[in-house]
Amino acid sequence: MQAIFITGGASGIGQAIAKRFAAEGWRIGLADVDAAGLSATAAMLPAGADTYVMDVRDRDAWIASLDDFTGKTGRLDVLANNAGIPLGGPLAEAPFDEIDRTVAINLTGVLNGARIGHAYLKRTPGSCLLNTASASAIYGSAGLATYSATKFGVRALTEALDGEWAADGIRVRGLVPAFIDTPLLAHPTSGSNRSIRETVTGAGLELSPVEDVAEAAWAAVHGDALFVYVGKTAHRLRFAARWMPGRLRKMMRRGQSGRRAVSDS
């Protein structure tokens, strides 16, 4: 039985990936800091899941969790490096502790998973590291500077390891979703009483269902593309960044000016 270990598995994209792979008969390992969410996700799956209350910043917890999971499964076919948190609002107003926490979880946590997960993946022929990036890794998003920086890092890591790990027989893939309808969007924008959901929809951007990301994850693991893009916004940003970078730059400036006008009113 093939096995996948998913960080951020208590809700949102991680939960959706778990449901998609479980439907195909895979053994599921779920990791998250949210114990109740892990139990709820496991209860949704036909055969349940092995759950690990784990912070991706904790390297010892990574080793203990992967040791336990692979000890039960005998293999690790996919490591879904998915855990992440949002941080919106002007960088100049962001508290330093929020900046540090976002970088530590979104980037260092993914590096931890890749560095520690390599040994387990290498022992399973045809295995795959699946990193969750973001449309904010296509072009730096005004109002999401720290978040964009971390997701650019995830994108760069994916590209680097695609070359670095080829000799080890490990495939590396990246998900590039736009704005996905998950509980993370309920978080407040830094320096504002508006939620990220309100900011996104107020800018006229669409939200994609989380099931679309799960399908993209399945396609990524079984396909040849380095990155799989999810949602209209991700595809539009990809096109604009390549063919209309000047226009995209102006759009980002106009959008940020509009957000400041709203927040100042």
Distances from the Cα of 38 to the Cα of 17, 42, 65, 170, 225, angstroms: 13, 6, 14, 28, 30
Active site residue 147: yes
Residue 188, strand partner residues: 195
- Cα–Cα dist 98/111, whole Å: 19
> Which member of 52, 139, 147, 229 is catalytic?
147
Catalytic residues: 147
